[in-house]
Chains A and B, each alone.
Chain A
Amino acid sequence: MIAYLIRRLLYAVPILLGVNLITFALFFMVNTPDDMARIQLGAKHVTAEAIARWKVQHGYDKPLFYNAQAEGGERLTQTLFTQKSLSLFALEFGQADDGRSIAREIQTRMWPSLAVAMPTFFIGLAVYLATALMLVFFRRSRLELAGVVMLVVLMSISGLFYVIGGQFVLGKLWHWAPISGYAPGLEAWKFLVLPVLVGVVSGIGESGRFYRALFLEEIHQDYVRTARAKGLSEARVLFNHILPNAAIPILTGVVVVLPRLFLGSLVIESFFGVPGLGSYTIDAIQAQDFGIVRAMVFLGSLLYIVGLVLTDLSYTLVDPRVRLQ
């Protein structure tokens, strides 16, 4: 298994390199360092000298891939690509265009992201599984029919509607929770109620139906019939037999997301004013801050790869037939 892990991690290097190259090319094709400087320096009294100075200060005064004026190995190292993109492999994120340390920002902002994403994820998972199991339990009844119709309705509604509807009904009409905002520490709880609720409810339709389909596939298997023949109750059949056997496809979707939880949600954080990494990324895209975007894309790719490896590992835990070689 260790050999497998090492091999997977080595595969990650060219993938991350490719992601970096694409991000780098996209950004520098759309935005020259001069453009970045102008955005940062504002609209008034911007001189050519100020732009040149900004580029030097932020390290954007170097050529893209090959520095003909440097000597030896520095021809490759004294370039924008090496300085700005490859340094990410050492987890050196550098500074944002406003001079703030990106690593520090990530450390600060990951906690609000986690505060929203963790409960949304785990409560959501529990709710989705429970909904799907219930629908399977009540299969071929009017309850199931009503439940499935409800799920189809829920999944047909845009995610933004849940956000705006939640803020309107719970925040504005009923006065149960702040419409948006965030506070650190224990005071955060009242700000989390609404985004977590919206996050969970908006996912019920799709995930509930997906898990229901997985369970329905299992319910006709021979081992289920055997379990029933042993005289087990339907509840025990569902929880002790069907749930573990449906775990592999569930884990495929679930474990891969886990490491990325702290990157937060772009939509939820923006609309609810949660100062997490999701809103950090959105702000950076709007401000065309290449430093932050490149760091977040790199981190996202890295964590996705970690998630995939963890998924493979989790298979071995839930299914003894799986061996990683």
Chain B
Amino acid sequence: MRFLFIVLALLLTGCLVGCQEPINSPHLAGLAADKVLFSAFSERPKHLDPARAYSENEMAYLGQIYEPPLQYNYLKRPFTLEPLTLSAMPEVAFYDAQGRVLPADAPAVRVTTSVYTVRLKAGIRYQPHPALAPDRVLTADDYIYQIKRLADPRVSSPIASLMGEYIIGLNDLGVAIEQKLKRGVAVDLVQEPLSGVERVDALTWRIRIKGKYPQFLYWLAMPFFAPMPEEADRYYGTALMRAANLTLDSQPVGTGAFYMAENDPNRVMILRRNPNYHADYYPTTGEPNDAAAGLLRDAGRRLPLLDAAVYSLEKEDIPYWNKFLQGYYDTSGIASDTFDQAIRIGPDGRPDLSPEMRARDIQLATTNRTSIWYLGFNWLDPVLGGVHDPERARKLRQAVSIALDWDEFISIFLNGRGLPGHGPIPPGIFGFKEGAINAVVYQPDGRRRALAEARRLLAEAGYPHGRDARTGAPLTLYFDTMASGPESKARLDWYRKQFARLDIQLVVRSTDYNRFQDKMRKGNAQIFEWGWNADYPDPENFLFLLYGPNRKQGKNGENAANYSNPEFDRLFTEMKSMDNGPARQAVIDRMVQIVRVDAPWVFAYTPKAFGLRHGWLANAKPNPMAHNTLKYLRVDPVVRQAYQRHWNRPLLWPVGVGVLLLIAMVYPAWRLWRRRLRMTAVEGR
């Protein structure tokens, strides 16, 4: 026992002092010396099947492994699509009901069918995989197979019904497969016909779309349309594989810059460089400031620039943050607990790094997210909605819009990480106008309208001093939210206080996710908070949240406020198939003005993302739309290791103090022990 103790003590002391890597390194030995990115995930990705995955945390992996036909340029803004596996951008042709070709600028009403012709680069190879022949190259059939998978009811793709509205024959394919499955007939997707997709040759295929749908190109940049080799589907389709938890949903197979080398979502996920990756180069042009920011140092270099990326499970914010400070993670977000430690707000209100972060050569990158947050009013509600007494309710909604001070909210609850909303389209998306203000809520000089104006509107709505002018009853409004618990209390109190400024009593009805969704579907909520994260950078993806036929109640759409305005709906139909340009901007401006006046939402804010990274990580430019950004990143492992050793030298003095303390405790105990052993039953003998 004593020998064992000595060996253990020597091992521990030896390692504390002499190991190549610090003993508190949470990574496997040797990895930090390679070109490996270390990052973390807080929640295991539910799906890694490109037909099923939709969440951001799933796309973070799939984007590196699967290659849809198109990608977003890494550096350019506004977001620009470019070919990824294609030899050129898809060609689109429009046809009328008689099958005649229409010009490219034909109005949407005349277009019955759009045909996209897509051509692949030759010779793109898949990652090494036991299901695939070593010389297996990417073909049009793999893309067609994946489109068919979207319709397969066994796959349960979240965009099956949405794409069914556009891709000709997709719904019919889904029904045909379902019927076969019910009859117990085996389904072979390769053999199943899909009328809207045609194979032209091994590298070319055509997709036929109902009507004009320019946004379809954006879908071609998402993993839903990535290629799936049928051999891989068959390989993972057996019962034996399923029993071993090996399915396409956990074992991605792609042509991307990286492949999944280890998928243990309970602990770590490791992506490694795909040795078969096709020729792909770092962009040579970007935005004007990119060169000065060092983002073009690797211009023209062959991608990827990393050998691997290690994502460790990190559920809690504090350990993640501490390990980032120890140099064991290359990037980190900023939780509200650590905001003050990381960021100083300058006198001009601009965020900057704290001296502690600067001393560690940590870099800050901020970007506006392509998301919006809003407070919605249920359009069907008798008090606040637009159906029963539209004029009165509109004034009430406008009064509330003025009273809610989002600048204050952003300052208190987001540490300044947000922009107050002026409309339904966030910055970075076509249709957003820099400097354009919501005149219903703000004065021309950009200041929020005075509370007196809100009170006047409230009185005009029939609620002077927050009381119903007819009955004298106090005005009580109901706010439905999924927020509950002590961490949300301050925020909910803030809402109450903002309404109280108009003498309106706000009753907060906190509920769980399911009950909240249920209320929204049934149209039972009065006021609620909601957000939307862009699927693609097109205003249609935000304005459809207010499109009447897309309402939540009864239609299960995404218009959670159930807002309906015939003029807005007409303009939306016109706008959605227009090309970006002044004409489209003019239509969008009219739509935005309508919703500002109607105020079905209080436009709350667009969140700003603050990201930190260590100085040894290069080429990091936030791109909220692109998913395949890992291939552009570069690390300097030598600098990283030097910092890690410097920051993680074990402190040895506590060992000495511990030994002294032990002696101080053991010595009197030993003396007492000796005395007790020598003690006699009778004193003095």
Contacts and interface: CB of A to CB of B under 8 A. Distances in A.
Contact of B24 (A35, A137, A177): A177
B387 to A, nearest CB: 25
Most chain A CB inside 10 Å of its own CB: which residue of B154, B318, B648, B649? B318
A119 to B, nearest CB: 13
B68 interface: no
Contacts of A45: 158-159, 161-162, 558
Given A101-B245, A143-B669, A175 B156 contact: no
Contact of A38 (B55, B264, B517): B517
A287 B95 CA distance: 47
A50 B648 contact: no
A138 B54 CA distance: 65
A100 B245 contact: yes
Chain B, interface size category, equals: 35 or more
A105 B245 CA distance: 8
A234 interface: yes
Given A171-B322, A177-B24, A44 B558 contact: yes
A50 B160 contact: yes
A270 interface: yes
A177 B672 contact: no
Contacts of B651: 173-176
B359 interface: no
Contacts of B498: none
A176 B23 contact: yes
Nearest to B54: A42
A190 B244 CA distance: 29
B241 to A, nearest CB: 11
Most buried by A among B22, B26, B650: B26
A36 to B, nearest CB: 9
B46 interface: yes
A49 interface: yes
Given A100-B250, A171-B322, A53 B25 contact: no
B513 interface: yes
Contacts of B654: 174
B250 A164 contact: no
A172 interface: yes
A108 interface: yes
B188 interface: no
Contacts of B672: 138, 141, 143
Contact of A98 (B162, B249, B318): B249
Nearest to A31: B514
Given A44-B54, A101-B242, A138-B669, A53 B158 contact: no
Q: Is the interface of B mostly helix, strand, loop or mixed?
A: loop
B431 to A, nearest CB: 21
Interface stretch (A180-188, A195-203, A206-214): A180-188
Contacts of B357: none
Given A45-B161, A174-B650, A179 B323 contact: yes
B319 A275 contact: no
The secondary structure that dominates the A interface is helix
Contact of B676 (A38, A50, A137, A191): A137
A6 B649 CA distance: 59
B29 interface: yes
Output the residue of A32, A171, A173 with the most chain B CB within 10 A: A171
Select the residue from A191, A235, A273 with max chain B CB neighbours within 10 A.
A273
B668 interface: yes
B556 A53 contact: no
A40 B245 contact: no
A236 to B, nearest CB: 11
Interface in B147-174: 153-154, 156, 158-162
Interface in A16-65: 31-32, 35, 38-42, 44-50, 53-54, 57
A50 B161 contact: yes
B25 A178 contact: yes
Contacts of A44: 54, 158, 535, 558
B351 to A, nearest CB: 25
A164 B321 CA distance: 13
B160 A175 contact: no
Contacts of A40: 46
A109 interface: yes
A262 to B, nearest CB: 15
Given A175-B650, A179-B26, A187-B28, A273 B242 contact: no
Interface string B119-137: 0000000000000000000
Contact of B161 (A47, A177, A234, A271): A47
Nearest to B153: A53
Nearest to A109: B266
Given A175-B24, A234-B677, A99 B322 contact: no
A167 interface: yes
A182 B264 CA distance: 12
A50 B44 CA distance: 23
B513 A39 contact: yes
Interface stretch (B211-219, B308-316, B489-497, B618-626): B308-316
Interface string B221-251: 0000000000000000000001111010110
A266 interface: no
Contact of A108 (B266, B319, B514): B266
Contacts of A216: none
A122 B654 CA distance: 26
B541 to A, nearest CB: 11
B154 A175 contact: no
Nearest to B535: A44
B511 to A, nearest CB: 12
B245 A104 contact: yes
Contact of B47 (A98, A105, A143): A98
Contacts of A183: 28, 267
A177 B23 CA distance: 6
A221 interface: no
A272 B267 CA distance: 11
A101 B677 CA distance: 61
Contacts of A283: 44
A187 B159 CA distance: 43
B23 A175 contact: yes
A50 B158 contact: yes
B266 to A, nearest CB: 3
Interface string A241-257: 00000000000000000
Given A45-B159, A47-B161, A275-B267, A179 B677 contact: no
B673 interface: yes
Contacts of B249: 98-99
A267 B601 CA distance: 41
Interface string A226-237: 000000011100
B156 A53 contact: yes
B158 A48 contact: no
B16 interface: yes
Interface in A238-293: 270-271, 273, 275, 279-280, 283
Interface string B488-519: 00000000000000000000000001100110
A125 interface: no
Given A143-B668, A174-B654, A57 B243 contact: no
A54 B157 CA distance: 11
A134 interface: yes
A233 B677 contact: yes
Nearest to A54: B156
7 contacts: A44-B535, A99-B249, A101-B244, A138-B669, A138-B672, A179-B24, A234-B677
Interface of A: 31-32, 35, 38-42, 44-50, 53-54, 57, 98-101, 104-105, 108-109, 134, 137-138, 141, 143, 164, 167, 171-184, 187, 190-191, 233-235, 270-271, 273, 275, 279-280, 283
Nearest 9 A/B pairs, CB to CB: A275-B266, A181-B26, A35-B514, A178-B26, A275-B267, A180-B319, A174-B651, A175-B650, A47-B161
Given A175-B23, A187-B29, 11 more contacts: A40-B46, A41-B158, A45-B161, A53-B156, A104-B243, A105-B245, A174-B650, A178-B24, A179-B326, A180-B316, A190-B23
